Amino acid sequence: MPSTRHSQSSPVSARALACEILTEAESGSLYLDQILERGFAHSQLTDKDRAFVTALTNGAMRWRARLDAEIAEHFRKNYETARPLLKNILRTALFQIRFMDRVPAYAALNEAVTLARAKFGEQLARLVNAILRNAQRRPYSWPQLEVLLQPENLPRLAAYLSYPEWLVQRWLERLGKDELPALAEACNQIPPMTIRVVRPQTNTKSFLEETTALQFTPEPVPDLPHVFNLPHLDQITKLKAFEQGLCTVQDASASLVAMLAAIQPDDTIIDLCAAPGGKTLHMAEFLTAGKVIAVDRSFARLKLLKSAAERLHLPVQLVASDARYFSAPLVDVVLVDAPCSGLGVLSRRSDLRWRRKPDDIAALAELQKEILANAARLVKIGGRLIYSTCTTEPEENDEVVAWFLQRRPSFALQPAQRFVPARFCEAPGFVRTWPHRHNMDGSFAAHLKRIQE
């Protein structure tokens, strides 16, 4: 990771750090949010600069394909072969010009030229200057969306929406021309900070009193009175209610899983893919005499879960184990919040769209089946097996459940509408949410009841 000792509060240094982080995110194995977290931990950036770097890196990453299409139009040679850092200097500058209204265009351009000169010399600095000035004078002319949606224009459509071509094709085939743009737009928005009130019967009043006193305006999520959206991401750190464990950060779609499980006070629960623990701890809230066994193969992630459990004052038994092989006496509820492609949370993970490959989906579906097969062995007769993902893709959702039920006739799918508000459900009884339909993450869940040996 590049040194950030020079990054006190200087906009130049903040922009330089953003370019270096983006370049590492493209070439390394770490995700963008991990690189940001590590970079901030070793820097002396002001809060303002941190917010700027976060917005700039995520924005340039999210809109990378559209930015590249415009830059390539003004690039003298083959843009694809340009050095990664040079690309990111251009991307971040153009992103500021096109998307960041509060940043003067001249500032973005001048800083990019200065950074290019420092990194590559005068010749490439002049190239950066020419490209960005040409982009200002002659903005890229995109065809109307109706034209881009014609089959022969798929590559340009993917660039305009800023997604990989294979993913746009996949969504287009399933959703059609009417819904595809809405889904793509929703996944390109910065998502709200969503708060779930812990033990809402007890804590909602205190939460709302504090937010009112601080002049926050939490927006209740329709049909989920214990879930609220906050307009500003930094507001959570100012809430004593958060520090005291009266509320926690969790997307509205994730809060549906514990509802679907219909937890009873004396249930014994196993969460096979537990960390970082949002769903685990939500289920634990419903217990009095029962217990939750949280299983995850990662010690580091279990430490995060432990910390969250302590803040929320919820007892959880932690076990480091592989979900495919974990063994225990039969229990009332087993949750498989399965490892998945994450294509329902693209708005929260700006680099995921570029890291995922089509083959990942099939490989993940096989892993999901392995975990689900082991989970079935842990459920007692009359118990519930809950399968959930944060992806929109049928190979990881409907098809995994169909595969499971075909091989496990001792389980039966229960209509989700019995447990979850109907607007989040669809035939034949699954929970399914979409960013553009529900204003929350894309997700899927199924309630599978064991009815016989």
| Active centre residues (catalytic) | 390
Place of tokens 């070793």: 42
Contact 439, 397 (CB under 8 A): no
Distance CA 288, CA 314 (A): 11
Strand, helix or coil for residue 1: coil
Bridge partners (DSSP) listed for residue 444: 389, 432
143 prior amide bond cis, ω within 30: no
> Which amino acid type is present at position 409?
P
Cα separation values, 67 from 57, 74, 136, 163, 305, Å:
13, 11, 13, 12, 38
Distance CA 102, CA 105 (A): 9
Structure tokens at 33: 């949010």
- 224 pairs with which residues across the strands? 221
∠ Cα 293 296 302 (to 5°)? 85
Q: From CA 416, how far away is CA 424, in angstroms rounded?
A: 9
Q: What is the DSSP string of 142-210?
A: PPPHHHHTSGGGHHHHHHHHTS-HHHHHHHHHHHHHHHHHHHHHHHTSPPPEEEEESSHHHHHHHHHHH
